Amino acid sequence: MTAEGVVLSPLGFLRRAAATRADVIGVWDDAYGQVTYAELGRRSDRLADALRAEGIGPGDRVAVLAPNGLPMLEAHFGVPGSGAALVALNTRLGPDEYAYILDHSRARMLIVDPGLMDVVAGVIADRPQLERVVVIGDEYEGWLASAPPSGGMRDPSSEHDVVAINYTSGTTGRPKGVVYTHRGAFLNALGSTASFDIQAGSVHLWTLPMFHCNGWCLVWGVTARGARHVCLPRPEPTLALQLIADHAVTHLCGAPVVLNALITQADESAIRLDPPVRVAVGGAPPSPTIITRAERVGMSVVHLYGMTETYGPSLVCVPLPEWERLPFEERARLMSRQGVPTPVVESVRVLDPRGVDVPADGVSMGELVVRSATVMAGYLDDEAGTKEVLRPEGLHTGDLAVMHPDGYVEIRDRAKDIIISGGENISSVEVEHALASHPGVVEAAVVARPDDRWGEVPVAFVTLAPGATVSEVDLIEHVRGRLAHFKAPRAVIVTELPKSATGKVQKSELRRRVAIGHDEAPAGPSDPVV
């Protein structure tokens, strides 16, 4: 191998941290206490040795079902360090979904948290290819301690080897196995930390599930910087705010639903974070209202955009210095855009159906296409699905966007979520943001309802703030005061919005409710919807 012919792998991030920041507290986990980077390195080496002793190696897959914590974190190094690929399982699925993913990934081993054994006990019994199950706790610790040394973590033979397989949420069918390589994970880990400004002295609170795009590659990225991981098994707002205070947390991530819960709890507890905590938001566009509320409680929002197919973040809304002179609400509106490519993304384009770039006018809509070394290698065992989205010009995201004159991208909708009413396109995201600007609305989702005259009309589902009382007609008029009247919802239903395990609103469920007539008796013009 030549001097420059180095294999890119995120495993090197831990080796560096263990060597140069050996005595620095790298991890805090309530069950394990404080763990130095040297100890995290030793534990990850032992995990690689233990897997190798089980006959696990290149080409194999090891599934891990556990909440955010030290075992899940070290699995991101020890599993690929054995040569195998990590399959980090979503902790909020049902038995049938676990059965499908274990079968599809052909996982030979499962490492599982005892609190999740009940949901997979029956699944494990029916999986002949699952050769070994190790339960986190005494069994897991004994298994690590007894592993014969065999060199610990080893670099892959090629940077294009598989480091992880991540499964999509499967809201429109069976989940797809998205294949990540060592090279892609290495690059996006650095891109995410650069975009999120994580430094050696940063403290990152794990409000984002580590199973979600490998924590947007921050399981590797935070380690690359030698910063501290503070593990939170689930994003419980009261505990999260306590950990922020106890550990002087500087950074955290999550979907808008997580941010909204933290803001609400901070408001109720009269908490203002000082110094401000940097919060990366992704998974769905945060409304300008959420961004404004976040800043008022001491959260500095960084808006990131990405998909499982892009290793997490591929766009970041970088705030420009001149924005500081703008009114608060206008600045929040600009910050809610998806932004520009992260430093490791080669290009993002907005293409019309002919494959031509749309004008950068902030109006012309097209499909967002990403070209980067941080685009997935493909869908596992799905050649047709891979070819459908991976084309010479890049990854076709299925998201409809505009390009603004300043080069910033703004997502207007998913292609399947656009509403065509009387021949006019209505962006569900635009209507949702208008609804969310009402002080009584916490969240909003808009879907299409078939209509004999117009073809489709928008229908809104909203969650109200605690104690809020607002009528349907008030909400409709609120939207009409901000958008063209034809874009206003024809009905407003108050409900808790159904969410996927990663915090995304499940619009397929809302469409189902519309289809079976859940919105046929909306509140009358003077009736409060509470």
Could you give the CA distance from residue 381 to residue 426 in angstroms, rounded to a whole number? Answer: 36
CB 145 within 8 A of CB 134: no
User: Mean pLDDT, 10 residues at a time, over the chain (530 residues)?
Assistant: 83 98 97 98 98 97 98 98 97 89 97 96 92 97 97 97 90 81 98 96 97 96 98 94 97 88 92 95 78 91 93 95 89 90 96 96 95 97 96 94 96 76 75 89 89 81 89 92 85 88 78 68 29
Structure confidence at residue 450 (pLDDT): 81
Q: Count Cα neighbours of 337 within 13 Å in the Cβ-side half-sphere.
A: 22
Question: How far is CA 132 from its chain centroid?
Answer: 30
The residue written with tokens 């509106």 in the block is 333
Provide the whole-model pTM: 0.84
Helix axes 37-53, 11-20, angle to 10 degrees: 140
For the chain, which domains are there? 33-155 (3.40.50.980), 418-529 (3.30.300.30)
Neighbour tally for 490: CB within 10 Å: 15
b/e per residue 349-378 (b: at least 16 CB within 10 A): bbbeeeeeebebeeeebbbbbbbbbbbbbb
Structure confidence at residue 290 (pLDDT): 83
Structure confidence at residue 524 (pLDDT): 30
